[in-house]
Amino acid sequence: QHHIRVCTVLRASRLEAILLTHLHGDHCYGLFGLLHTVALEGRREPLLLVGPEGLREMVDTVFRCSGGWRAEDSFALEYLEIPSRCEGDP
């Protein structure tokens, strides 16, 4: 989020997707501030969140415990969760 804020070319509201490699705090806790920054910049179209299984549950849990997220007041969140294991893996 810091790099987006100091960059003169990129705006958070123009992101097409946010990709998370895993759900450790050092990689995902900043997501919620970033989503609010995007909303404050006036985004209205849906934003895709891509990450491992459990991403939607994590986001829903944080929003449920912290006042929620109303897509009608900002923008919808779409999810693409990547399975933890590939077909055929033990």
| Cα dihedral 84, 3, 29, 17 in deg (nearest 10) | -40
13/43 Cα distance (integer angstroms): 5
Catalytic residues: 26
> 47 forms bridges with which residues in the sheet?
77
